[in-house]
Structure 1
Amino acid sequence: MSTILVTGATGNVGGHVVNELARAGLEVRALVRDPAKARLPDEVEVVAGDLTRPETLEPALAGVETAFLVWPGFAARTAEPVVEALAAKARRVVYLSANVPDGGGPPIFHQELERLIRASGLSWTFLRPSGFAANTLGWADQIRTGVVRWPYGQAARALIHEKDIAAVGVHVLTSAGHGGAAYPISGPGLLTQAEQVRIIGEVIGREVRWEELPPEEAREHLLAAWGDANFVDSALAGWRSFVDSPEEVTDVVEKLLGRPALPFRSWVRDHEADFR
């Protein structure tokens, strides 16, 4: 197998993909903005480049047949030239997309990337994960106070561990028969946001309670933090939708990996120190 390029190689998912491929003895090239700051295995080739600056990608793409594509952020401004550059050099791409209901903002971006990839001539596989368990790290400061104030406590999601996303990605990258597949992957079951907070408290040994925050108040806080009104409104609409229409639970992780998806409690144990 030729060199596999991994973008987002220092992120939650990409880092695990790089490590698993390296442990398997495969040739891995990690695309990072600053190689001096990358903390990756010695056997991994680290190359500087930036997906938001397509002109920097030539060295990273040399000799690459397969790429694991994680896009930085939710802007598609440079997506088309990046996909064109991939198609000119590589034959296959595994894209970390999203599996979110209509009206959620980010999925619109992912749908555009999927459209570009489908039209590129590349062999493709799309991973469409449910909500990331890692997103609950956004509550860490509130967890330390013992109270999480957030909207839509009854929004139910099938949160997925980043290790499972990476494991599915590695499986797809290293085995045949996945061309043209779009895999909706999720955690093993549904938990409301209030239940997620309770479980975090149980694991870290601290009582943490949920306090419902009015959506309009949450919007003010999120606007100050994120600055993009459309993104904030889309996020709030997404959480609201999960109250009446919970996120989809699938068995794709188990079918592909031969084991159940990791439960949220396992993810919290792996990140316990982040909440202390």
Structure 2
Amino acid sequence: MIVVTGATGNIGRSLVDRLLADGAAVRALTRDPARAQLPAGAEVVRADLTGSAADFAPLLAGADALFLNLAAGGDRAALALVEAAAKAGVRRIVLNSSMAVTDTPADENNFIARMHATVERAVRDSGLEWTFVRGGNYATNALAWGPAIRESGVVRDAHPGAQGVPVHEADLADVAAVALLDRTGTHTGQAYLVTGPEALTVADQVAEIGRAIGRETRVEQITEEAAAEAMSGPHLPKEAALELVRMFGSTVDAPAFPLSDAVERVTGRPARTFAEWARDHAADFS
């Protein structure tokens, strides 16, 4: 049995589909099973991961492996789940971590890196088998441009020339699935930096979405302050958002992270391009 947190999220939904296709038993955790629309083959369980650690035991009963995503409940919930998994006899954790983690003291200077590095340390210290999937430049981040593209075709961003290596959520799910299903130990103790196959600027990505939907799209530059204000929310304080915006600004000359072939090395096939992602999500921008 594989327990999937964040089962209705972009990565989790793809992961549930992939695991079921491979014949695995899946327990998919969600706050609202009635609205989850997950496959009938999954055991869909109501779970509020912001509850106490004692509430997690039934969720992990009989499980061999756990896919842990901080987006499902935050870092405190993730730490409690790691502890509960060890007590429940779970053998393996695959953590959806962040490419911001560098395994150096610099991790303490970055909000995103610090949060994920803390959970990584807890997983390592748990004594369980582990694999870290360090993504972060998610292609799905572009979904935030949906309202602007639908309304006017104009995306407002502080750094149109910022470069990234956007990765398709299905590729992150595929890498996680291989690690969760690993029977040889090949992926135990591995931290995979998972990227897309090409570096693209924000302007490149917006143009690619335009091609996918058959409309003219462009980027209009705004201040860093305005960009952080638009990005911030209940789970991302404005200070952290401004930190991210400034980090994006540092990638105008070159991507913050090198291209990685982890998708191909782990899954045996090339990573999906952003153009493929844009076509897959054309309905979200139309």
> TM-score scaled to structure 1, two decimals?
0.93
Structure 1 pair 165–34 and aligned structure 2 pair: CA distance change class (3 A)? same
Give the Cα separation in 2 of the matches to 1:140 and 1:43: 32
Are 1:167 and 2:165 an aligned pair?
no
Instruction: State which of 116, 122, 141 in structure 2 corresponds to 1:135.
Output: 141
Instruction: State which of 262, 266, 270 in structure 1 corresponds to 2:276.
Output: 266
Structure 1 pair 73–20 and aligned structure 2 pair: CA distance change class (3 A)? closer
Instruction: State which of 161, 183, 189 in structure 1 corresponds to 2:192.
Output: 183
Q: Amino acid of the residue matched to residue 268 of structure 1?
A: A
SS of aligned partner of 2:160: coil
SS of aligned partner of 2:252: helix
Runs of 4+ in 1 over 4 A off after TM superposition: 101-104, 223-227
Counterpart in the other structure of 1:255: 265
Asked whether the 8 Å contact 1:130–1:158 carries over to 2, the reply is no
Q: For residue 187 of structure 1, report the CA deviation from its aligned partner.
A: 0.1
Q: Amino acid of the residue matched to residue 70 of structure 1?
A: N
Give the Cα separation in 2 of the matches to 1:221 and 1:134: 17
Counterpart in the other structure of 2:25: 27
Q: For residue 270 of structure 1, report the CA deviation from its aligned partner.
A: 0.4
Aligned pairs, number:
274
Q: Amino acid of the residue matched to residue 94 of structure 1?
A: V
Are 1:4 and 2:2 an aligned pair?
yes
Give the Cα separation in 2 of the matches to 1:165 and 1:25: 19
Asked whether the 8 Å contact 1:74–1:109 carries over to 2, the reply is no
Q: Amino acid of the residue matched to residue 15 of structure 1?
A: R
Asked whether the 8 Å contact 1:48–1:60 carries over to 2, the reply is no
Counterpart in the other structure of 1:115: 121
Structure 1 residue runs of 5 or longer lacking an equivalent are none
Q: Amino acid of the residue matched to residue 67 of structure 1?
A: L
Q: Amino acid of the residue matched to residue 215 of structure 2?
A: R
Q: For residue 202 of structure 1, report the CA deviation from its aligned partner.
A: 1.3
Counterpart in the other structure of 2:220: 211
Asked whether the 8 Å contact 2:30–2:48 carries over to 1, the reply is yes
Counterpart in the other structure of 2:93: 93
Asked whether the 8 Å contact 1:153–1:192 carries over to 2, the reply is yes
SS of aligned partner of 2:271: coil
Give the Cα separation in 1 of the matches to 2:43 and 2:236: 36
Structure 1 pair 8–215 and aligned structure 2 pair: CA distance change class (3 A)? same
Give the Cα separation in 2 of the matches to 1:70 and 1:259: 24
Q: For residue 124 of structure 1, report the CA deviation from its aligned partner.
A: 0.6
Q: For residue 166 of structure 1, report the CA deviation from its aligned partner.
A: 0.5
Give the Cα separation in 2 of the matches to 1:115 and 1:153: 35
Q: For residue 57 of structure 1, report the CA deviation from its aligned partner.
A: 1.6
SS of aligned partner of 2:155: strand
Instruction: State which of 36, 39, 42 in structure 2 corresponds to 1:38.
Output: 36
Counterpart in the other structure of 1:126: 132
Instruction: State which of 140, 147, 150 in structure 1 corresponds to 2:154.
Output: 147
Residue deviations 1:152-202, cap 9 Å, x none? Answer: 111100000000001111111112311110001110010000111111111
Structure 1 pair 48–272 and aligned structure 2 pair: CA distance change class (3 A)? same
Asked whether the 8 Å contact 2:69–2:95 carries over to 1, the reply is yes
Q: For residue 239 of structure 1, report the CA deviation from its aligned partner.
A: 1.0
Q: Amino acid of the residue matched to residue 280 of structure 2?
A: D
Structure 1 pair 154–225 and aligned structure 2 pair: CA distance change class (3 A)? farther
Give the Cα separation in 2 of the matches to 1:79 and 1:264: 30
Counterpart in the other structure of 2:104: none
SS of aligned partner of 1:63: coil
SS of aligned partner of 1:96: strand
Q: For residue 241 of structure 1, report the CA deviation from its aligned partner.
A: 2.1
Asked whether the 8 Å contact 1:47–1:59 carries over to 2, the reply is no
Instruction: State which of 17, 20, 24 in structure 1 corresponds to 2:15.
Output: 17
Structure 2 residue runs of 5 or longer lacking an equivalent are 102-106
Asked whether the 8 Å contact 1:153–1:194 carries over to 2, the reply is yes
Counterpart in the other structure of 2:206: 197
Give the Cα separation in 2 of the matches to 1:248 and 1:128: 13
Give the Cα separation in 1 of the matches to 2:199 and 2:63: 39
Instruction: State which of 163, 175, 178 in structure 2 corresponds to 1:156.
Output: 163
> TM-score scaled to structure 2, two decimals?
0.90
Give the Cα separation in 2 of the matches to 1:183 and 1:131: 14
Give the Cα separation in 2 of the matches to 1:188 and 1:140: 23
